[in-house]
Structure 1
Amino acid sequence: MPPDRLWTIGELAERAGVTVKTVRYYSDRGLLPEARRSSGGHRRYGPAALDRLRTIRSLRGLGLAVPDVHRVLDEDDRASAAGADAAADVLDGLIAGQLREVGAGLAALRWREAALQALQDCGPGERAERLLLVGALPSPPSTAAMARFWRRWLPPRMPARLVSAILDGTIPQLPEAPTPAQALAFARLHALVSGSCDGAGKVSGKASGTSPGDGRDPTQPAAHRPEEGYRPAVLYDGLIEAYGLAAPHLRAGRRPQEGEALDCFVAAYARSRGARDTPAFRRRLGGVLGADPRIDRYWQLAGELFGPADPTPGSTHDWLLAALDGATAEAA
């Protein structure tokens, strides 16, 4: 390349519309190699440096970090077709990562907007409570506290695939564009599950809510207690199936009734106890389930996030329990 075609660092900066400091920064980090040095040791750049500098600025403008820009340019510098394909793959992956990051940022902003709107919409008497609730929310919002709550609440030594299925059904998907009411419901739900699981007043909607006095956890249903003889993994496998059968009835607004869903529900408890589904078993089961501690507040708040078209496991369980009570009362 003829010497008169080479530019000083200042000339390159002027043509690119950047500062000399910017050109020096990218040069020092190996992103913008110089063509040669002058006899006095000054950097000289060829016309190709201008295109490369524009590419660097474009990649940086998309939010890519300097190491990521380096990866893209390194792949571009490989002259083979495989190198070109590799460069495209690297850039595609980085763009996908940026899109995920931007999406998460937008979701966090929408949740913040909804939370602020919830604060603005309430009266002075409610504002102090709401401020503490929404101020404690993670940003971006996360259901990690709900997952921890359910892992603590479920019986120990459950199969991982079953725990995963249960979490999928009990933890609502957070809306990308929440309403102020949904933001407030999530804030209350987050506060609820972030507390201790060992206080009946925190999670139980049962009126009595008192400790049985024998050292058992008062928030745990009988089926979670080894001394009751249940096999929880067998039980929850059956309950997932029963809830799936009952869900269409709830969506259609049908009253609790006998049928396949109720039979599957009772069979889940019977199999987990190694018992038979008999009228006597159904009467005993209704009594046990009616006395179990409840977490109605969780399902009330989660229902606002699930939406009216999606029955929660809590509402489905209540429907099946009501169907059981009705069936045993009729039989009696």
Structure 2
Amino acid sequence: MDGGTLCSIGELARHTGLSVKTIRFYSDRGIVAPAGRTPAGYRRYAPDAVARLALVRTLRELGFGLDVIRRVVDQELTLGEVAAEHAAALDVEISVLRLRRAVLRSAADREPTPKEMELMHQLATLSAAERRRMTDDFLDAVFEGLHSGSHAAARRSMTPELPDNPTDEQVRAWVELAELSLDPDFRASVRRLAEDHAGSLPEGVPRRPRPDTVAVARDVVAPAVACGIRADSAQADPVVAALTARCALAHGRPDDAELHTWLLHRLEAASDPRRDEYCRLLALINDWPAPERLAPLVAWSVTALRVRTAR
């Protein structure tokens, strides 16, 4: 186009690749106004209309609305201002879409009922404050009224912190962990574990900080499980003897039948495999290293103690 020559709407369409109808629409909206008209009333456009329409097409492809585009081409707003605002809006939209995708993928794997699907959607779209309240409700149910310095640390170690920009895997893990924390039976199971750790000691045992019995069992039993030693075999006898001796020493009392019964009760309370699942999901959400599975070690210890307690 000649720098000083006005062009018709048809010529402008050929130069921009836009249809006459589209250019007329933008013109009617005041986005690309004609520079003049012929005596017959036909629109004529200045050479800068080509650049304006190129910008309009780019902004439309990026998803901007016509009102915003008009203000940009009229220099009422800068491109930087509208780009920042639009990027922020897209961030929100992308976050919502990722949450929806995570729910749908989880549903595809699990074949949920309509009620379960609704719950999954609700859990995935909770705000950060709502997630915190749900977590606090679960941890209150587990630890409320148990006065032990170790419980504050345990509570922190069980708290999920979904990041601002979670991955699909983290969102799915959050939904599953939230469902688990809402399960009354699981809550009761974890509560029993906390109560046992806080106060279910054999009579005469001093109330002092003591090692976690599950951790002691893990340390003693893990090598035997790794070697394939059966819990009900004679080869397991020295392992069980070492386990009860360690616990007796830790709790300051004789290694006798009463301690064995208490230890069996304590490990049975910790044998819920959902505890491992909670820890696995928690690690995914908080981006922690994958935790060791304790359920097989606890199950081995429980079987070994039952066999020997029954003798």
User: TM-score, with normalisation over the residues of structure 2?
Assistant: 0.47
User: TM-score, with normalisation over the residues of structure 1?
Assistant: 0.45
